[in-house]
Structures are given as structure tokens and as C-alpha cells.
């Protein structure tokens, strides 16, 4: 087969990388009988999704190693914390996804190729929240 004969279709490239941290929280605005109003914890998984119309370097949207500062932020600022005590908002997965997208835009977007598309936060294996960037 002549591999040079394969036509490469136009489109965007998308990548994702998953990060982990452990944290506790409660949602004090909920009624006291709601289970999430009480202190509990999660093994959070955070997926960062980036896209680009063309590739950099040897063929990357973004080198996964360039996301190391985000991993460090999660480890030093959120891991093994009570999120409701350190974050300036009710720490639902939805708001956490939006907050982490804001952190990525302020701290990494200016220095990495690719654009942030979305941040997905998983509290459990069966529940997640995703924040999609508008107009990016």
C-alpha cells in the first residue's frame, strides 16, 4: 500500500489529560437532611481538553508535559483539603470545573499551544460535571 496516497482530512485535533486529587467538602447551602450537606470526600478526576487546528513540534496539540503546573496546583492547593474551607464558592463539581478552567486560562493558556475546550470534573465513577469554554 502507498501510504502517501492517503488523503489527510481537514479538521481540529483534540487531546485530553486526566489528573487526580483527593479532597473533602460539604455543601452547606443544602438542607441539613441532604447527604451532601454533611462532610464527605471524593477521589476527584479532572480531565483537561485542548484543541488546535494544526500541530506543534513533532505533532502535538500541546506537549502533555506542559500541563505539569496544573498537576502541581492540584497537588499543592487542593489535594487533601476541605474545598468548602478554601474555595470562594460552594464547591459543587460544576463550579469546580469552571474555577479550574479559569486557573488554566490565567496560568497556562498564555504559554502553551492549543486552546482550552473544556474541563471535566468527576466526583465518582458515575457522576461528572463539564465546563465548556464559550467562543474559544
Active site residues: 36, 80, 123
Label residue 23 exposed, middle or buried (CB < 10 Å: 0-12, 13-18, 19+). buried
Check residue 101 and give left, alpha or beta (phi > 0: left; psi -120 to 50: alpha). alpha
The residue written with cell numbers 479532597 in the block is 23
CA dist 5 to 9, 12, 13, 20, 55, Å?
12, 21, 21, 42, 21
Helix (H, G, I), strand (E, B) or coil at 19: strand
Amino acid at each position: 500500500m502507498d501510504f502517501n496516497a492517503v488523503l489527510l482530512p481537514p479538521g481540529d485535533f483534540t487531546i485530553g489529560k486526566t489528573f487526580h486529587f483527593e479532597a473533602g467538602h460539604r455543601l452547606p447551602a443544602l438542607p441539613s437532611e441532604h447527604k451532601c450537606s454533611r462532610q464527605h470526600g471524593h477521589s476527584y478526576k479532572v480531565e483537561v481538553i485542548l484543541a488546535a487546528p494544526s500541530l506543534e513540534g513533532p505533532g502535538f496539540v500541546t506537549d502533555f508535559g506542559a500541563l505539569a503546573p496544573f498537576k502541581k496546583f492540584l497537588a499543592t492547593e487542593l489535594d487533601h483539603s476541605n474545598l468548602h474551607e478554601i474555595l470562594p464558592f460552594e464547591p459543587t463539581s460544576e463550579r469546580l470545573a469552571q474555577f479550574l478552567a479559569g486557573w488554566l486560562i490565567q496560568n497556562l493558556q498564555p504559554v502553551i499551544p492549543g486552546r482550552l475546550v473544556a474541563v471535566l470534573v468527576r466526583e465518582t465513577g458515575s457522576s461528572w460535571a463539564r465546563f465548556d469554554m464559550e467562543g474559544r
